[in-house]
C-alpha cells in the first residue's frame, strides 16, 4: 500500500491557521494509515483511482480532494466530501455509488480526520487492493515435490509417480480407483486421445490378442510417432491461441495465407519441438531467426486473432481501434502462455490479481509495433535465387516500357501542339456524374441502348461503372420520362453480383425513379425496353444525381459511350455519342489523342514493342514469386508509451516502458527496457522472460493443459486463468511435479504424454460407482476415467474414416465448408454439399470467423474470437438434425454401405459384423444383428449406415 | 392446430420412444449440459417477479437516423445550411461534414401523447401511445459491425453472447417443440458482422439463435428428398432403440439420455417448425394488413417475416431478433439504413418496407393481449449526424446520440426519456448506454443484470459488462 517511506506533514500547514488545528486536537487522534486509508481503499478507490477517475476525482492521493474543495482541512462543514457521503434528508447518501452507504461511525471518522487537519502522510498512495497478492499460489516458484509414499496402494499404483499423487488424494477422501479398463476400451481411448481417430479393427484385434506387457507402451509410442498426433494436439493449441483464418469484425475478409502457421504448429508438435522454443517463436520468431521461414512463421501467432480493419476517419475512434487491436494481442498472449488475464488491467489495476495497469501498458509497449498483414517470407537463398533468375529481365522490362511509352508520348505531343483543333473538335461539356444529357432529333424507339466504351478510372475498361438513373424523355410539350419501370419499361444489363442478395445492383435500379442505389455494371451495355414504341428526343443519366459537388466515395462513372435506338431490337441507329465532348480527365484525353495521332508506322513499332514486352513479362512471371504469408508486419513504434486512464487513448497518463510483470517480481527475474528499446528487442525480451526457467507460470499452465486434454478437466479447471477468479488445483503437488517433469524433459511434450498415459490413473475404467460419485461427483479426484463425447473434428474425421474416405493429405491451403461471398463485407454461406475435396481431416478446414459450419459448429467447434482453452460438450436437437439430414451424412452412409459390400460381401450377417467393427470396434450382439439386418433388408444398407452414424456409441468414448 | 401437433408429437414420441427414461423432462435433460461440464446450471432463478416473458427485438441495421424518424429537431430547419456550432471541423467516420441539414420530411404529432414522428412512418405513428422513446442513447463505436455487436451483446468486439442467448441461458425454453431464441435475418442478407449478432459467444452452443425466416428454413430441418418417409421412420426408430440401449447400459451418464432426448426434440421441431412457418393458414385480411403481397418484394418479404415473428412469439419462442435490412453494401444506403449520400431516396426505400409490416405485428400483439407480457425493443447501432456529409445529401455516422425504444410488458407508453441537444448531435439529458438499455430489459425479465453472470477467461461476465443502470423512469 505504501509506495515510499512515510514522511508525515500536515496538509493543514498549507491552508490553515494553528488555532483551528488546536481546536481539532482535542479529540482522539486519527491514525490515517490504519483507519482512514483502509476505508477509502475499500469504499472509494475502485471508482476514484488515478486510472478510472470517475467524476475526474482520484482518492489515491490528497491532491484532487484538496483542489476541488472535497476536503478543507480543519473545516468539516466546508468539506464537500462529508456532504456526499451523508444522507440528505430522505435521500440516501450520493456516495459511494456501489454498495451500502457508509456507516455513521465511518462518516464520523472522516469528520474527525478533517477536523484534525486531514493529515495525509507524504507520498502515501492508496490503491484498491486486489483480492490476491504476490503470495498467490500460482506465482510462487515451483516447489521441489517428491511423490508421496503410498504403502497401502497395490503394487501397480506405487510405480508411476502420477499414480502415487492420485492415490494419496483418493485415500484422503476414502476412495479407491477403478480397476483397469479392458484392452478394447484402452486402445480406443488412447488412439482417439493421441490421434483424434479410431483404431482400425485390425489394430484392435492385434492389441487385444497380445498379452505382452510391452504391448501398451508400444502402442503409446506408435501413436506418438504418428503424424496424426500433431494434427490432434496441434488443434488443441490452435484453440488456445484463437487461430482463425479471416479478419473478423464487420468486413471479415478471408485470409488465404495463414495456413503455413497452422502447418507450423502441427509440424512443431509432431517434431516435439521444445515448447519454450515454440513459445519464443510465437512472440519473436522473426527476431530470433530472420530469413528462416519455418521459424519466422511462428510469429504469425501475434496476428492470428480478429481485428477491425474498417477505415475510420474519426481520429479518436481510429486510436481506440488500434488500442483494441493491441489489447487483443495482450490478452491472447497472457492467457495462452501465462494463464493470466492481464487484459483485465486495461482500464484499472486488476481487481483480483496482482496485475497493475502499469503491467498492462508495459505489454502494450511490447506489442505496439505489431501490424496485421502479409509479407514475403523467404530464406536469403530463396531471395538470392529469385534475383539470379530474374537477372536483367526487370531492366529489359523497364527499357521496353520506356520505348513503348516514348512512341505514345511523341504522338500525344503532336496532338497537344494542336490544342485548338481538338478544343474545337471536343467542344461539348465533359460528361457529368450528376447529370449527362443527350438531345437528338425525334426518333421512334422501342429500345434504347447505352453502349459504354470506357469508364472514368480506366479508359480501357467497359465495365465496373455505376449508374443510379437513366431517363428517356418523349418529344413534344408534355415531355415525360418513359424509362421508368412504373411506366412498364424494363432494363437489362449485366451487373456485379452480391451472392446473398440477388439483384442488389441490378440494372433495374436505373429505372426505379430513385437516386440512392446504383446499377453496378459488369458489362458494356444497358438496354432499356419501353412498354411501347414512342418518339423520344432526349436521354439523361447519372451516377450521383444530387446537385452537389463531387466528393470522395462516389461511383466510378461512364466516360465514353454511344446511344443507340431500335424499334425491332435488330436494327440499331446511333443517335448520340460522347466523342465531341471534352474528355473527362487526362487519361481519356491521352487515349483520344493517341487514337487520332498514331501513324501507321507508330502503330507497327508499338506492336513490335508490345510483343517483346509481353515475352519479357512472361519470363518474369515464370520466375517463382517469393511466398507471401500472413505473418504480420512491424513498425518501429518508438513510443513513448503511456498508461491510458480508463483504457482510453484520449486520456494518456504516466509514461510506461516494456518490462516484466510486477506480480512475478519475487519468483522470476525482472527486466525493464529503456524507452528507446527497439521493437524487436521488446518482444524478444518478453519471450525470453516468459520461458525463463525461473518463471513458474508457463510450466504450470502448459502441464495443466496437457493433463486436461488427457482427462477432460485440468488439475486447474480454468486453464487460461491461474488467478484469483480461476479454479484451485485439485492436485497441487501433482501439478508442481508435472511442471517440473516438463522442464526436466527440455519442455518436450511426448515424454509427459507417455508418463501420463502409462499411469494406472489413465488406464482405469470409466465405470460409474454410485458410492464414489456421492463423494466426488465429477471425479475430479480421478476415481474413474471420465467418459467424453468426441470433439467436432473427431466426429467428422471418424465418419470419414469409417466410410473409407478420409484423405490424410497433410498441410497446405485449407478446404472450405462454406461459400465465400464478398460484397464490401464478407458472408460465409454454409455448403449443402461437401464434395470429395473436403474429405480431409477437419484441422485442415479453413476456419473463418463467424462462419457457421454445419456439424462443426453444432458439435462445439469454437468461433475463435477468443482463446478457447476448453471445448463445451453440448447436446442439442440441431446436432440431431444435421447428423440425420445433412448431405454429408447421407453421402458417408452411402460410402460406408459400399465399403461393407466390398469388405463383407453380400451376407447381411457379415455386413453388420463388419459395420460394428468399423464403427465401434466390437462385434454386435445377436439382438443388434437382428435389428440391423431387418432395417437393411427392408430399406437398404445405406439406411442402416445412416442409423449407425447417428448412434451415441460412435461419438462417446469410455 | 397447435394442439393437434402437440398431441401427435407427445403420443408418437414421448409415448413410444422415451419409454425407459423414467420421468425425465426433455428440456431438463438437455439443459443440464453434457458431462456436467458447465460452470453453472443452465437455468437461473429469476431474481424477482418478471413483467415480461418474452422479447421481440426489431433491429434496423445501418444506423437508422434518429432525427429523421423519431427525434424531431426543429432547430435543423431554423438553422438549415448553417455550420454545426462548435463542431465545424469535426471528422466523423467518413471524414468531413457540411452544414446542418433538416429532415427531408415533415414530422406530425402522433397519438394522444402528441409525439412528433416522421410522416414517413404513418403506421408506426399509430403506436406512439404505447412506446417509451429513449432519445439519449450513445454508443462507444462509430463502425457498423462493432456497433451492431455492441447493441446486441454489450461488447463491441465479437465473441460475446447476444441478449437472446443470455435470455436462453437465464430462462431456458418455454416450448419443447421450438427453439428458444430465433434470429430472422432480412431477405437482403445478414446484418453487419453477421452471425456474431446472435452468437452464443462463450455460453454453451445451445444458446445460439436458430436462424430462420420466411425465405430461409431452418437448416437440415427437412427430411432429405433422397430418403423415403417410411425409410426415415424406420431408421429413426432404430437410432432411438440403439441410443436408448446404450444410454441404459451406461445409465449413470445423463448426457447419453440427453442425446436420446435431443433426437426427440429434433423430431418435434420437424413437426412444429413447418407449422409455425405456414403463413398460408393466416387470413387474407391478415396478409393485407401486414403487406405480404405488396408489389415491392423487399417489403413483402419483411412483412412475411413479421407475420412469422408473431407466430413464433405466440408459440412460446422467448426471444425473436427480427432484422429489417442487412449489411453494408457496395452502395451506401442500398441494403440498409446507412444513408451517407442520398438520405431522401434511401429512406424512401427503407421506411415503407419497415412501416406497415412492423406496425401490423405490434397491433396484433396488442390486440391478442400478448403485448402484456412481451417486451418489444426497437434498436439500431448508432445515429447519424445532423449535418450532411461534404458534397452529398446524406448523413455520416454519429455514435454520440441516437434513439432506441421499448414497448409492452412493464414499459410506460407515450413517454420520452432523455434527449439529444437541439440538433441531435449528442445525448445531453440522461445519457443512456447500451448497458443501461439491457439492465432495463433484464430487469423487466426478472433479473438483476449484475447477478446474471457466467465465468469466462478470468471474469464473471455479464450482458452489461461492468456497467448499467435500470432506466426506472420508463417503467410502469
Segment B324-339, tens digit of pLDDT? 999 887 777 788 999 9
Nearest CB partner across the interface for A516, out of B211, B230, B346: B346
Contacts of B143 in chain A (CB under 8 A): 249-250, 308, 310, 312, 317, 321
Q: How close, in Å, is residue A892 to chain B by CA atoms?
A: 14
Question: Cβ B334–A516 below 8 Å, yes or no?
Answer: yes
Contact across the interface for B190 and A823, Cβ inside 8 Å: no
pLDDT higher than threshold 50 for residue A771: yes
Query: B192 and A314: CB-CB below 8 Å?
Result: no
Residue A66 Cα, gap to closest chain B Cα (Å): 29
Mean pLDDT within A192-217: 96
Nearest to B266 among A313, A881, A887 (CB): A881
Three state DSSP letters for chain B: CHHHHHHHHHHHHHHCCCCCCCCCCHHHHHHHCHHHCCCCCCCCCCCCCCCCCEEEEEECCCCCCHHHHCCCCHHHHHCCCCCCCCCCCCCECCECEEEECCCCCCEEEECCCCEEEECCCHHHHCCHHHEEEEEEECCCCCCHHHHHHHHHHCCCCCCCCCHHHHHHHHHCCCCCCCCCEEEECECCECCCCHHHHHCCCCCCHHHCCEECECCECCCCCCCCCCCCHHHHHHHHHHHHHHHHHHHHHCCCCHHHHHHHHHHHHHHHHHHHHHHHHCHHHCCHHHHHHHCCCCCCHHHHHHHHHHHHHHHHHHCCCCEEEEECCCCCCCCCCCCCCCCCCEHHHHHHHHHHHHHHHHHHHHHHHHHHCHHHHEEEEEECCCEECCEEECCCECCCEECCCEEEEEEECCECCCEEECEECCCCCCEEECCECHHHHHHHHHHHCCCCCCCCCEEECCEEECCCCCCCCCCHHHEC
A880 and B227 within 8 Å at the Cβ level: the answer is: no
B366 to chain A nearest CA, in Å?
A: 32
pLDDT confidence of residue B87: 87
Q: Is A577 helix (H, G, I), strand (E, B) or coil?
A: strand
CB-based burial label for A876 (10 Å; 0-12, 13-18, 19+): buried
Q: 511-540 in A: which are within 8 Å (CB) of B?
A: 514-518, 520
Residue A427 in contact with partner chain B when CB distance is under 8 A: no
Q: What are phi and psi of A219, to 5 degrees?
A: -60, -50
Q: Min CA distance, A389 vs chain B (Å)? A: 42
Cβ-based contacts of A939 with chain B (< 8 Å): 228, 230-231, 234-235
* pLDDT (0 to 100) of residue B43: 60
**Identity of the residue in B220, B234, B236 whose CB atom sits nearest the CB atom of A854:** B220
The whole-model pTM stands at: 0.86
pLDDT of residue A37 exceeding 50, the answer is yes
- Residue A511: pLDDT band by 50, 70, 90 thresholds? very high
Provide the shortest C-alpha distance from residue B458 to chain A (in Å). Answer: 6
Q: Do B189 and A874 touch (CB under 8 A)?
A: no
Position B180 confidence tier, pLDDT thresholds 50, 70, 90:
very high
Residues of B in contact with A553 (CB under 8 A): 94, 332, 340-341
Question: pLDDT tens-digit profile of A617-662?
Answer: 999 999 999 999 999 999 999 989 999 999 999 999 999 999 999 9
Euclidean distance between CA atoms A2 and A125, whole angstroms: 6
User: Is B331 in Cβ contact with A725 (below 8 Å)?
Assistant: no
The per-residue pLDDT for range A820-856, each reduced to its tens digit, is: 998 888 999 999 999 999 999 999 999 999 888 899 9
Residue of chain B whose alpha carbon sits nearest to that of A347 = B466
Q: Does the distance separating the beta carbons of B158 and A306 come in below 8 Å? A: yes
Mean pLDDT of A332-358: 93
Q: Which residues of B touch A860 (CB under 8 A)?
A: 204-205
Whether the ω angle into residue B246 lies within 30 degrees of 0, i.e. cis, is: no
User: Tens digits of per-residue pLDDT, A795-811?
Assistant: 999 999 999 999 999 99
Length of chain A: 958
Q: What is the mean pLDDT of residues A858-869?
A: 90
Q: Of B374, B366, B363, B370, which is closest to residue B285 (Cα–Cα)?
A: B363
pLDDT of residue A553: 55
Going by DSSP bridges, is the β-strand pair A490-492/A525-542 parallel, antiparallel, or unpaired? antiparallel
* Chain B interface, best mutation among A46, A136, A185, A250, by max B CB count within 10 A: A250
Nearest chain A Cα to B186, which residue? A501
Report pLDDT for B2: 36
Q: What confidence category does residue A351 fall into, taking pLDDT thresholds of 50, 70 and 90? A: confident
β-sheet bridge partners, residue B405? B133, B378
Residue among A248, A940, A952 minimizing CB distance to B259: A952
Query: What does each C-alpha distance from A57 to A46, A51, A54, A81 come to in angstroms?
Result: 12, 10, 6, 11
User: What mean pLDDT is predicted for residues A262-267?
Assistant: 98
User: Nearest CA to B397 among B155, B95, B101?
Assistant: B95
- pLDDT score, position A579: 94
| For range A856-875, the mean pLDDT | 90
Cell numbers 455492441 correspond to: B150
What count of CB pairs under 8 Å joins A to B? 321
What is the average pLDDT across A9-25? 42
Domain boundaries defined on chain A = 12-115, 274-377+633-690, 428-581, 888-957
**Cα of A89 to nearest chain B Cα, Å:** 22
pLDDT band of residue B17 (cuts 50, 70, 90) is very low
Q: Return the C-alpha cell found at B348.
A: 424512401
Q: Under an 8 A CB cutoff, do B393 and A546 touch?
A: yes
Q: Judge whether residue A6 has pLDDT over 90.
A: no
Return the closest-CA partner of residue A714 out of A327, A106, A138.
A138
Confidence of residue A27 (pLDDT cuts 50, 70, 90): low
Contact A516 B231 (CB under 8 A): no
Q: Given this model, what pLDDT does residue A651 score?
A: 93
* Percentage above 90 pLDDT, chain B: 75
pLDDT per residue as tens digits for the range B250-299: 999 988 998 999 999 999 999 999 999 999 999 999 999 999 999 999 99
Residue B125: CB atoms within 10 A of its CB come to 22
pLDDT tops 60 at residue B13: no
Task: Specify which residues B404 forms β-bridges with.
Answer: B134
Per-residue pLDDT of A705-761, as tens digits, reads 999 999 999 999 999 999 998 999 999 999 999 999 999 999 999 999 999 999 999
Name the band, by pLDDT with cuts 50, 70 and 90, for residue A547: low
Q: Which residue of B has its CA nearest to A318?
A: B93
Among B235, B341, B393, the residue with its CB nearest the CB of A947 is B235
CATH of domain B43-220+287-453+469-474: 3.40.720.10
Burial (CB count <10 Å: 0-12, 13-18, 19+), residue A580: exposed
Class of domain A888-957: mainly alpha
User: What pLDDT, on a 0 to 100 scale, did the predictor assign at position A20?
Assistant: 44
Of the partner residues B196, B235, B262, the one whose CB lies closest to the CB of residue A935 = B235
Question: Of A313, A514, A554, which is closest to B93 when you measure between CB atoms?
Answer: A313
Q: For residue A19, what pLDDT band results from cuts at 50, 70 and 90?
A: very low
**pLDDT classification of B27: cutoffs 50, 70, 90:** very low
CB proximity A812 to B under 8 Å: no
- Compute the nearest-CA separation of A832 from chain B (Å): 9
Provide mean pLDDT across the span B388-406.
94
pLDDT tens across B431-448, in order?
Answer: 999 999 999 999 999 999
Inter-chain residue contact B459 with A344, CB threshold 8 Å: yes
Please tell me the predicted confidence (pLDDT) of residue A554. 66
Can you read off the three cell numbers belonging to residue A547? 446537385
Element (H, E) at A315: helix A315-333
Contact between B221 and A935 using a beta-carbon 8 Å cutoff: no
- Pairwise CB contact (< 8 Å): B391 & A938: no
The pLDDT of A453-479, averaged and rounded, is 93
- Please tell me if residue A824 touches chain B, with a CB cutoff of 8 Å: yes
ipTM of the complex: 0.84
**Of residues A455 and A28, more confidently modeled:** A455
- Residue-level pLDDT at A904: 96
Quickly count: other Cβ atoms within 10 Å of residue A869's Cβ.
Answer: 24
Q: What is the pLDDT of residue B256?
A: 93
pLDDT at A468 over 80: yes
Q: Is residue A22 over pLDDT 80?
A: no
> How much is the pLDDT for A44?
84
Amino acid at each position: 500500500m505504501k509506495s515510499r517511506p512515510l514522511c508525515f506533514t500536515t496538509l493543514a500547514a498549507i491552508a490553515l491557521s494553528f488555532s483551528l488545528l488546536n481546536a481539532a486536537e482535542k479529540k482522539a487522534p486519527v491514525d490515517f494509515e490504519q483507519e482512514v486509508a483502509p476505508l477509502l481503499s475499500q469504499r472509494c478507490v475502485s471508482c476514484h483511482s488515478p486510472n478510472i477517475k470517475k467524476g475526474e476525482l482520484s482518492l489515491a492521493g490528497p491532491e484532487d480532494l484538496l483542489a476541488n474543495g472535497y476536503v478543507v482541512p480543519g473545516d468539516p462543514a466546508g468539506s464537500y466530501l462529508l456532504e456526499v457521503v451523508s444522507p440528505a434528508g430522505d435521500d440516501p447518501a450520493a456516495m459511494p455509488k456501489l454498495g451500502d452507504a457508509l456507516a455513521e461511525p465511518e462518516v464520523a471518522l472522516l469528520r474527525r480526520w478533517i477536523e484534525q487537519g486531514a493529515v495525509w502522510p507524504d507520498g502515501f498512495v492508496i490503491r484498491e487492493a486486489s483480492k490476491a497478492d504476490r503470495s498467490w499460489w500460482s506465482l510462487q516458484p515451483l516447489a521441489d515435490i517428491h511423490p508421496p509414499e503410498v504403502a497401502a496402494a497395490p503394487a501397480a499404483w506405487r510405480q508411476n509417480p502420477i499414480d502415487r499423487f492420485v492415490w494419496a488424494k483418493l485415500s484422503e477422501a476414502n476412495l479407491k480407483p477403478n480397476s483397469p479398463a479392458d484392452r478394447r476400451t484402452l486402445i480406443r481411448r488412447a488412439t482417439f486421445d493421441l490421434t483424434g481417430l479410431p483404431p482400425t479393427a485390425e489394430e484392435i484385434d492385434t492389441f487385444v490378442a497380445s498379452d505382452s506387457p510391452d504391448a501398451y507402451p508400444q502402442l503409446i509410442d506408435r501413436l506418438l510417432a504418428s503424424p496424426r498426433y500433431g494434427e490432434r494436439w496441434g488443434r488443441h493449441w490452435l484453440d488456445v491461441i484463437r487461430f482463425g483464418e479471416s479478419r473478423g469484425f464487420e468486413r471479415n475478409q478471408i485470409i488465404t495465407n495463414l495456413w503455413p502457421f497452422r502447418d507450423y504448429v502441427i509440424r512443431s508438435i509432431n517434431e516435439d519441438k521444445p515448447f519454450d522454443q515454440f513459445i519464443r517463436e510465437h512472440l519473436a520468431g522473426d527476431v530470433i531467426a530472420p530469413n528462416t521461414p519455418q521459424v519466422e512463421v511462428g510469429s504469425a501467432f501475434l496476428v492470428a486473432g480478429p481485428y477491425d480493419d474498417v477505415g475510420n476517419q474519426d481520429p479518436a475512434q481510429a486510436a481506440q481501434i488500434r488500442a483494441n487491436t493491441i489489447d487483443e494481442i495482450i490478452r491472447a498472449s497472457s492467457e495462452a502462455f501465462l494463464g493470466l488475464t492481464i487484459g483485465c488491467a486495461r482500464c484499472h489495476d486488476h481487481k483480483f490479481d496482482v496485475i497493475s495497469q502499469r503491467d498492462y501498458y508495459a505489454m502494450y509497449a511490447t506489442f505496439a509495433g505489431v501490424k496485421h498483414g502479409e509479407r514475403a517470407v523467404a530464406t536469403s537463398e530463396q531471395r538470392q535465387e529469385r534475383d539470379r533468375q530474374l537477372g536483367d529481365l526487370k531492366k529489359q522490362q523497364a527499357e521496353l516500357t520506356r520505348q513503348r511509352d516514348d512512341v505514345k508520348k511523341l504522338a500525344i505531343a503532336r496532338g497537344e501542339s494542336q490544342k485548338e483543333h481538338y478544343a474545337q473538335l471536343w467542344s461539348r461539356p465533359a460528361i457529368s456524374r450528376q447529370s449527362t444529357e443527350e438531345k437528338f432529333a425525334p426518333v421512334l424507339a422501342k429500345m434504347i441502348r447505352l453502349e459504354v466504351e470506357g469508364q472514368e478510372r480506366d479508359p480501357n475498361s467497359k465495365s465496373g461503372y455505376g449508374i443510379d438513373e437513366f431517363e428517356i424523355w418523349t418529344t413534344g410539350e408534355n415531355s415525360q420520362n418513359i424509362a421508368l419501370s412504373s411506366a412498364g419499361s424494363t432494363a437489362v444489363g449485366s451487373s456485379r453480383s452480391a451472392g446473398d442478395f440477388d439483384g442488389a445492383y441490378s440494372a433495374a435500379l436505373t429505372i426505379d425513379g430513385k437516386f440512392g442505389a446504383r446499377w453496378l455494371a459488369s458489362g458494356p451495355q444497358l438496354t432499356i425496353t419501353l412498354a411501347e414504341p414512342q418518339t423520344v428526343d432526349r436521354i439523361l443519366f447519372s451516377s450521383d444525381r444530387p446537385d452537389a459537388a463531387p466528393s470522395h466515395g462516389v461511383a466510378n462513372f461512364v466516360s465514353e459511350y454511344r446511344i443507340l435506338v431500335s424499334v425491332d431490337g435488330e436494327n440499331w441507329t446511333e443517335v448520340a455519342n460522347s466523342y465531341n465532348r471534352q474528355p473527362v480527365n487526362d487519361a481519356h484525353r491521352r487515349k483520344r489523342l493517341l487514337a487520332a495521332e498514331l501513324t501507321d508506322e507508330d502503330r507497327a513499332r508499338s506492336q513490335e514493342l508490345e510483343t517483346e514486352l509481353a515475352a519479357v513479362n512472361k519470363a518474369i512471371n515464370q520466375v517463382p514469386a517469393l511466398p507471401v504469408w500472413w505473418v504480420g508486419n512491424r513498425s518501429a513504434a518508438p513510443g513513448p508509451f503511456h498508461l491510458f486512464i480508463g483504457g482510453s487513448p484520449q486520456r494518456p497518463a504516466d509514461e510506461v516502458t516494456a518490462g516484466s510483470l510486477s506480480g512475478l517480481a519475487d519468483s522470476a527475474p525482472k527486466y525493464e527496457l529503456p524507452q528507446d528499446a527497439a521493437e524487436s528487442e521488446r518482444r524478444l525480451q518478453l519471450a525470453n522472460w516468459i520461458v525463463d526457467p525461473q518463471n513458474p507460470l508457463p510450466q504450470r499452465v502448459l502441464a495443466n493443459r496437457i493433463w486436461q486434454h488427457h482427462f477432460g478437466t485440468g488439475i486447474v479447471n480454468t486453464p487460461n486463468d491461474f488467478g484469483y477468479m480461476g479454479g484451485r488445483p485439485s492436485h497441487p503437488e501433482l501439478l508442481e511435479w508435472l511442471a517440473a517433469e516438463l522442464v526436466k524433459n527440455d519442455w518436450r511434450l511426448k515424454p509427459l504424454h507417455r508418463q501420463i498415459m502409462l499411469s494406472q490413473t489413465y488406464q482405469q475404467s470409466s465405470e460409474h460407482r454410485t458410492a464414489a460419485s456421492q463423494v466426488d461427483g465429477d471425479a475430479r479426484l480421478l476415481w474413474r476415467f471420465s467418459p467424453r463425447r468426441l470433439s467436432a473434428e473427431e466426429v467428422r474425421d471418424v465418419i470419414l474414416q469409417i466410410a473409407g474416405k478420409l484423405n490424410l493429405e497433410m498441410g497446405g491451403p485449407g478446404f472450405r465448408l462454406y461459400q465465400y461471398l464478398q460484397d464490401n463485407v464478407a458472408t460465409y454461406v454454409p455448403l449443402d454439399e461437401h464434395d470429395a475435396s473436403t474429405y480431409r481431416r477437419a484441422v485442415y478446414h479453413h476456419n473463418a470467423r463467424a462462419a457457421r459450419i454445419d456439424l462443426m459448429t453444432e458439435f462445439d467447434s469454437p468461433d475463435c474470437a477468443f482463446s478457447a482453452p476448453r471445448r463445451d460438450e453440448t447436446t442439442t436437437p440441431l446436432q440431431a438434425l444435421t447428423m440425420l439430414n445433412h448431405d454429408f451424412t447421407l453421402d458417408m452412409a452411402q460410402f460406408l454401405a459400399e465399403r461393407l459390400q466390398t469388405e463383407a460381401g453380400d451376407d447381411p450377417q457379415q455386413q453388420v459384423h463388419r459395420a460394428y467393427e468399423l464403427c465401434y470396434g466390437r462385434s454386435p450382439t445377436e439382438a443388434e444383428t437382428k435389428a440391423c439386418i431387418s432395417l437393411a433388408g427392408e430399406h437398404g444398407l445405406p439406411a442402416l449406415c445412416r442409423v449407425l452414424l447417428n448412434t451415441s456409441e460412435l461419438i462417446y468414448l469410455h | 392446430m397447435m394442439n393437434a401437433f402437440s398431441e401427435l408429437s407427445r403420443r408418437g414420441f414421448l409415448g413410444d420412444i422415451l419409454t425407459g427414461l423414467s420421468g425425465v423432462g426433455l428440456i431438463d435433460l438437455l439443459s443440464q449440459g453434457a458431462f456436467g461440464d458447465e460452470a453453472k446450471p443452465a437455468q437461473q432463478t429469476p431474481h424477482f417477479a418478471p413483467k415480461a416473458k418474452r422479447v421481440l427485438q426489431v433491429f434496423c441495421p445501418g444506423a437508422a437516423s434518429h432525427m429523421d424518424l423519431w427525434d424531431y429537431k426543429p432547430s435543423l430547419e431554423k438553422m438549415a445550411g448553417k455550420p454545426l456550432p462548435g463542431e465545424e471541423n469535426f471528422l466523423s467516420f467518413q471524414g468531413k461534414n457540411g452544414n446542418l441539414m433538416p429532415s427531408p420530411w415533415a414530422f406530425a404529432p402522433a397519438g394522444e401523447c402528441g409525439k412528433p414522428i416522421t410522416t414517413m412512418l404513418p403506421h408506426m405513428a399509430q403506436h406512439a401511445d404505447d412506446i417509451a422513446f429513449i432519445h439519449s442513447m450513445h454508443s462507444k463505436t462509430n463502425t457498423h459491425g462493432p456497433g451492431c455487436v455492441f447493441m446486441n451483446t454489450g461488447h463491441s468486439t465479437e465473441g460475446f453472447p447476444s441478449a437472446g442467448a443470455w435470455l436462453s441461458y437465464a430462462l431456458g425454453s418455454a416450448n419443447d417443440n421450438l427453439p428458444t431464441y430465433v434470429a430472422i435475418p432480412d431477405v437482403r442478407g445478414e446484418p453487419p458482422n453477421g452471425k456474431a449478432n446472435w452468437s452464443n459467444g462463450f455460453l454453451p452452443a445451445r444458446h445460439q439463435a436458430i436462424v430462420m425466416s420466411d425465405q430461409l428454413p431452418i437448416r437440415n430441418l427437412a427430411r432429405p428428398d433422397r430418403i423415403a418417409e417410411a425409410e426415415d421412420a424406420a431408421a429413426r426408430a432404430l437410432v432411438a432403440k440403439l441410443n436408448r440401449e446404450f444410454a441404459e447400459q451406461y445409465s449413470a451418464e445423463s448426457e447419453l439420455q440427453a442425446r436420446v432426448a435431443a433426437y426427440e426434440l429434433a423430431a418435434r421441431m420437424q413437426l412444429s417448425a413447418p407449422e409455425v412457418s405456414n403463413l398460408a393458414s393466416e387470413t387474407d385480411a391478415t396478409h393485407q394488413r401486414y403487406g405480404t403481397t405488396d408489389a415491392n418484394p423487399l417489403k413483402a418479404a419483411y412483412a412475411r417475416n413479421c407475420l412469422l415473428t408473431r407466430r413464433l412469439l405466440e408459440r412460446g419462442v422467448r426471444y425473436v431478433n427480427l432484422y429489417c435490412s442487412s449489411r453494408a453494401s457496395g452502395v451506401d444506403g442500398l441494403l440498409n439504413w446507412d444513408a451517407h449520400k442520398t438520405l431522401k431516396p434511401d429512406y424512401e426505400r427503407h421506411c415503407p418496407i419497415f412501416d406497415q409490416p412492423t406496425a401490423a405485428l405490434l397491433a396484433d400483439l396488442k390486440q391478442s393481449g400478448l403485448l402484456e407480457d412481451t417486451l418489444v425493443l426497437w434498436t439500431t447501432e448508432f445515429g447519424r449526424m445532423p449535418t450532411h456529409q461534404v458534397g452529398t445529401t446524406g448523413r455520416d455516422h454519429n455514435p454520440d446520440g441516437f434513439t432506441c425504444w421499448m414497448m409492452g410488458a412493464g414499459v410506460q407508453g407515450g413517454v420520452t426519456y432523455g434527449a439529444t441537444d437541439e440538433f441531435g448531435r449528442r445525448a445531453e439529458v440522461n445519457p443512456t448506454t447500451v448497458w443501461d438499455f439491457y439492465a432495463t430489459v433484464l430487469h423487466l425479465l426478472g433479473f438483476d443484470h449484475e447477478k446474471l453472470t457466467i465465468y469466462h477467461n478470468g471474469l464473471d461476465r455479464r450482458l452489461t459488462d461492468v456497467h448499467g443502470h435500470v432506466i426506472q423512469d420508463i417503467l410502469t
